[in-house]
Chains A and B, each alone.
Chain A
Amino acid sequence: MNTGELLIFLALAVPLFAAAAIYAVGRMPDVRETLTIIACIALSVITISMFMRVGAGDPPTLTVARPLAGLEIAFRLEPLGALFALMASLLWGVNSLFSVGYMRGKREANQTRFYMCFALAMFAVMGIAMAANLFTLFIFYEVLTFSTYPLVTHTGDARARAAGRVYLATLVGASLVLFLPGIIGVQIVAGSTAFTQGGLLPGRVDATTGDILLLLLVFGAAKAALMPLHGWLPSAMVAPAPVSALLHAVAVVKAGVFAILKVSAYIFGPDLISTLPAATWLLWIAAGTIVIASVIAMTKDDLKSRLAWSTVGQLAYVTSAALLPAAAGLVAGGLHMLVHAFAKITLFMCAGAIYVATGASKVSEMRGLGRSMPIVFSCFLIGALCVIGLPPFAGMWSKFLLIKAAFGTREWFTAAAMVISSLLGLLYLAPVALRACWSRLAMDRHAPSSVRRRARTGCCGADDHSCSMCRAVPAGGWRRQLSCANRGEGAMSEGTQDVAPKEKPQLGEPGEHPLSVLLFSWMRGKLFFRLLMAGLSALGAVLIALEVVLSHRPVTSLVNMPGFFGIFGFLAFGIAVLSGWPFGKLMRRPEDYYDTRSGEAGRDR
């Protein structure tokens, strides 16, 4: 056994052993959780070293068993799988740390089973990531399903059990009815299910068989939640937050899209995919999934449910990427899988943290929480922006690559769906954090205008330190006023009375600034106005006269006529101003026009 094979073996053995050990020490929570963390670290080290080795020399292969003639349980390390394994193991560590806090914070029951199943799920993920053929992948794919079932039903109440049933029925149903026949079909057609560079099937299938196999395999991987097999994902939201993170980020759904990526890359190969009509149909379905899931996500008030629908949409991105008839799509898909994993786990952990800390699970309950949980909501915002695909966050790159690949292969629907979904993503994800942070006063829409005005000045920082900052300002009269405003109590609304300048001016009105006296005081009164008018008229006359004298242009048109600009200016100004009367009548509405009858464009989410 050389190093590569040893690494493969260890990657499988560590989580499996960890699961057994966790079960053994289940009575001692501290030991159990320490064990989990140690296993996470060990696995991360292993996957990192695997990742470093990828591409150097022959890929290490480890054959474990040959159950039937022609069938092998075998593992091989290739870049996509190494990436997946690395991602999953790193996130396992993160998630385990989070779990410790969450599970203890919520005093959940059956924690040993939780940690054990988690480790088993990681075992399955490692198997999926390193599978050398479809058969092996399928085996571990199923192991993953079963090892996560107890996690989904963790709370054990009726809702959880119902969700668990949907979970199992969908995943197992799809894999039995679709995935398995598809794999066996591949086995019959090609005599093997080994993942082959450039594709196993090219040259071995006709278009119809290829279509059928592709449909079977893509829909069969129901973990990818391609519509209409997506229902299990939102319903699995009843599970505790760490489990949701596992489902959505670390393992389960990623295993689905990973399977599709592998099938596309190594069973069909981009060349064959590009000739199959089924790939196009699937792309449409994926595009539809992207948009519909995003729209549904917008309607959800429950945060985790919203995130779940978001996942459905994001997974369809990867599915699309896998089905784009270009190798570039695969790269984009792999990257998006990775990026989405990190972003989604952030979001779910934030949701979990909010829930543990405040008990709020609905978006509408989170207004103003950003004040007390700034870090959590900042993280949420970052995760959201990453999912949406905005710079400077990683989601930008995968999304750009995807859109580019879609354009490159002239799949307009896919590209359009991705663009639209980004926008919808903005609408349903970003406001969660934004509103929590900045919408505290949104309720004050009908508050007295003094309060609103005070708010408008932007000096209403509720926390102490903004006050102290104001006090720290070295000098200047405005400091006093600001501090007043900060202390609140409507000081600002009566600002004019409050601000009584200290100095007593000699000239002009009481309180007037000397400069004002100097510059402007003589302007007051009707006399000045008349004089100015006369002066301006005179100036205008002079200007026209000057133009007549100086202009050597012949008067060939209206424009060349002396005084044209003056007359035009007069008329234009007059028209512009006078238009204010009718237009004002027509278009002016009361100030609270948009605020009445919930007239705001959509409730702020």
Chain B
Amino acid sequence: MTVDRLLDLAATINPGFYLIIAALPAAVARDAFTRAVALIGGPVLGLLAMLYPPVSGADVSRQLFLGFELSLYRSDSLSLIFGLGFVLAAVLGGIYSMHRRDRLQDAAGLVYAGAALGAIFAGDLITLVLFAELATLASALVVFAARTGPAYRAGLRFLTIQIIAGLLLTAGAALYGVEKGTFLIAELGGLWNGLIVGIIDPTSAGGMLILAGVGIKAAFPLVHNWLTDAYPNTTETGAVVLSPYTTTMAVYLLARFFAGYDPLIWIGAAMTIYPVFFAVMENDLRKVLAYSTNNQIGFMVCAVGIGSTLSINGAAAHAVAHIVFKGLLFMAMGAIQLRLGTTKASELGGLHRTMPWTALACLVGAASISALPFFAGYTSKTMIMTAAESGPGMFVVWLMLLFASAGVLEHSGIKIPFMAFFSHDSGKRPEEAPYNMLLAMGLSAGLCLIIGLYPGWFYQLLPFRDQAQEFLVQDLFSLSHILQQLQLLTFAVLAFMVLWWFGLYPPEKPGVILDVEWIWRKGAPMLGRALSKPARAGGRFVSVLTSSAIGGIQKASRQVFAADGLVSRKLPLSATAILALCILGVVMLFSMFR
């Protein structure tokens, strides 16, 4: 009986807490076994807690705290699919970083995953903000854990931008909650097709703030730079730990709060396009992957903006699939980073000779992200494309997505594996990745294939299950879809070969590509230098002015009042007598001519 009751109690705890609690042993453990138990066990516990009570779509745990009604744990099918993705990522990331005995990063990674998971299952805006901010802190620690100068500075920038997002989110949540009189998600909006989505009015002030905060976390255009800045500066495992959560959480929040908000369509479409061009130029392959993340999130944002059951299913599915295959690609790059200390394309090439397993995994990931049929990406992205295709007046958007699909193939499908593992031989012969990395990559690659080959179980988990089943049966493997996708990919690869053959493919050159980060990394310091001189001069002027004014007053009053000063100088007696007479006169005058 007690066991049952304990289990019931355990099931009312937000799954994120299990991961966060597991961070404690991970932070202090010095032996491999404890670490492994914490790194794997925490997420597994979270998974169990997540699955134990069947999805209810209701608040599992409500608390009253400081006068707020908090819902620490609320679960429905939308949360669940994202939660699954996070737990999966946590487990894979744990395995992947097992070789690296870095307690700080392990613990931070677990807290990060747990906090993101907690945010997914938060039933009210306050709990959500809390978890989101915690996730921010933990993620920044993951960046700092690289313990290098560039990582420190990148981490600081990352933290700053994330905190700005968090503050916007906080302020927005406070404002929106105050306006609506409740912070509970369940009370903010009604059901739509059986789910609470699109509940926040983005045109209200609070809604705008929330959208801005979430937008930064989702790396909307012009605020995307934290992503491409931080990821390449992490440790070889850091990017793997970092990549699944923040942006995906943002997608979840967009779906939950702003599904069907039209501007998102265009924002998403733009997000898919511009990273393509940056990725082509970029030399650092991990940075290419960061741009690729940006691009993939664009697909999801666009889908959320479309706001049909199909597109939201697509966004959720793509989010989870993306976690897996993008994780896989980052893992492959991480292995290279571990072995060679760099992922710059200009210094790589021909690594397949000694790292074939990694190369193979990378190829699976590339195929997945390129949405080759029967790989994970295809299963999810097709939904988005179909949703975009079917919408009225969506032609341009659809074309943009299609262009982006070709672009994805370029940077993630071809450039990543080709430049790293094939291309011209760099002469480097690094050792194959450690076993734990290979295991993690193998599992990820397996998942990519499983999702791609047997999408049925995956579709079961999607938010709108019935619609997903319908799509699975009617559309997913329809010949036209497969043909179209294959055509696109085949000819794109062909284009690559032609360009390569004729030497038209831009060479990989070392260098940094200018991005909006220029504004704060170069522009702001320049502005600061330009302004500092006049500002300092002005400040000096003011301080000199005040100090001389004070000094002047002091000096003047000293001259007047000091012992030998004007007032205090000894007057001759006659003077005092005359003074007395004067006053006498004044008094008399007043008395007589009143």
Q: Which of B160, B280, B354, B528 is within 8 Å of A511, CB to CB? A: B354
Q: Chain B residues near A496: list those with CB within 8 A.
A: 340, 427-430
Q: Is B133 positioned at the interface, with any CB of A under 8 Å from its CB?
A: yes
Segment of A140-148, A155-163, A447-455 in the binding face? A447-455
Q: Is A68 positioned at the interface, with any CB of B under 8 Å from its CB?
A: no
A593 x B512 contact (CB < 8 A): yes
Q: Is B19 positioned at the interface, with any CB of A under 8 Å from its CB?
A: no
Segment of B40-48, B163-171, B248-256 in the binding face? B163-171
Complex: chain A residue closest to B149, CB-CB: A442
Q: Is B541 positioned at the interface, with any CB of A under 8 Å from its CB?
A: no
A572 x B133 contact (CB < 8 A): no
A601 x B32 contact (CB < 8 A): no
Complex: chain A residue closest to B98, CB-CB: A473
A587 x B353 contact (CB < 8 A): no
Q: Is B471 positioned at the interface, with any CB of A under 8 Å from its CB?
A: no
Q: Is A440 positioned at the interface, with any CB of B under 8 Å from its CB?
A: yes
A438 x B155 contact (CB < 8 A): yes
With A513-B353, A573-B410 already in contact, the answer to whether A458 and B236 are too (CB < 8 A) is yes
Q: Which of B174, B337, B427, B480 is within 8 Å of A404, CB to CB? A: B174
A591 to B283, CA, bound (A): 10
Q: Chain A residues near B126: list those with CB within 8 A.
A: 400
Interface centre among B99, B166, B178, B435 (most CB of A within 10 A): B178
Q: Chain B residues near A602: list those with CB within 8 A.
A: 524-525, 528
With A460-B147, A513-B356, A594-B521 already in contact, the answer to whether A573 and B495 are too (CB < 8 A) is yes
Q: Chain A residues near B37: list those with CB within 8 A.
A: none
A473 x B99 contact (CB < 8 A): yes
Q: Is A385 positioned at the interface, with any CB of B under 8 Å from its CB?
A: yes
B491 x A566 contact (CB < 8 A): yes
A385 to B32, CA, bound (A): 31
One digit per residue, 1 when the CB lies within 8 angstroms of any chain A CB and 0 when it does not, for chain B 471-506 equals: 000000001100111111111111111110100111
Q: Give how many A residues have a beta carbon under 8 Å from the other chain's beta carbons.
A: 119
B281 x A456 contact (CB < 8 A): no
A275 to B232, CA, bound (A): 55
One digit per residue, 1 when the CB lies within 8 angstroms of any chain B CB and 0 when it does not, for chain A 429-468 equals: 0110011011111111100000011111111110001100
One digit per residue, 1 when the CB lies within 8 angstroms of any chain A CB and 0 when it does not, for chain B 16-50 equals: 00000000000000111000000000000000000
Q: Is B271 positioned at the interface, with any CB of A under 8 Å from its CB?
A: no
Segment of B260-268, B302-310, B401-409, B586-594 in the binding face? B401-409
One digit per residue, 1 when the CB lies within 8 angstroms of any chain A CB and 0 when it does not, for chain B 109-145 equals: 0000000000000000010011101101100000011
Q: Is B52 positioned at the interface, with any CB of A under 8 Å from its CB?
A: no
Q: Is B458 positioned at the interface, with any CB of A under 8 Å from its CB?
A: no
Least distance between A187 CB and chain B CB atoms (Å): 34
A544 x B487 contact (CB < 8 A): yes
Q: Which of B153, B281, B340, B430 is within 8 Å of A588, CB to CB? A: B281
A489 to B175, CA, bound (A): 56
One digit per residue, 1 when the CB lies within 8 angstroms of any chain A CB and 0 when it does not, for chain B 343-366 equals: 000000000111111011000000
Q: Chain B residues near A512: list those with CB within 8 A.
A: 353-354
A153 to B48, CA, bound (A): 61
A426 x B163 contact (CB < 8 A): yes
Q: Which of B354, B407, B493, B512 is within 8 Å of A594, CB to CB? A: B512
A495 x B430 contact (CB < 8 A): yes
A103 to B494, CA, bound (A): 77
With A403-B174, A455-B148 already in contact, the answer to whether A601 and B157 are too (CB < 8 A) is yes
Q: Besides the contacts A516-B359, A550-B480, what 20 more A-B pairs have beta carbons closer than 8 Å? A: A396-B130, A400-B126, A407-B171, A440-B147, A442-B149, A456-B151, A456-B341, A458-B102, A458-B148, A466-B102, A513-B354, A550-B479, A569-B487, A573-B496, A577-B410, A588-B509, A591-B512, A593-B522, A594-B521, A601-B522
B→A interface (CB under 8 Å)? 30-32, 66-67, 99-102, 126, 129-131, 133-134, 136-137, 144-153, 155-157, 159-160, 163-164, 166-168, 170-171, 174-175, 177-179, 206, 235-238, 276-277, 280-281, 337-342, 352-357, 359-360, 402-403, 406-407, 409-410, 422, 427-435, 479-480, 483-499, 501, 504-506, 509-514, 517, 520-522, 524-525, 528
A→B interface (CB under 8 Å)? 331, 335, 385, 388, 390-392, 396-397, 399-401, 403-404, 407-408, 415, 419, 422-423, 426-427, 430-431, 434-435, 437-445, 452-461, 465-466, 469-470, 472-474, 476-478, 481, 492-493, 495-496, 499, 501, 508-509, 511-513, 515-516, 518-520, 523, 529, 532-533, 536-537, 539-540, 543-544, 546-547, 550-551, 553, 563, 565-574, 576-581, 583-584, 587-591, 593-594, 598-602, 604
A-B residue pairs, 9 tightest by C-beta: A458-B235, A442-B149, A580-B506, A572-B406, A469-B101, A569-B488, A516-B356, A453-B341, A515-B356
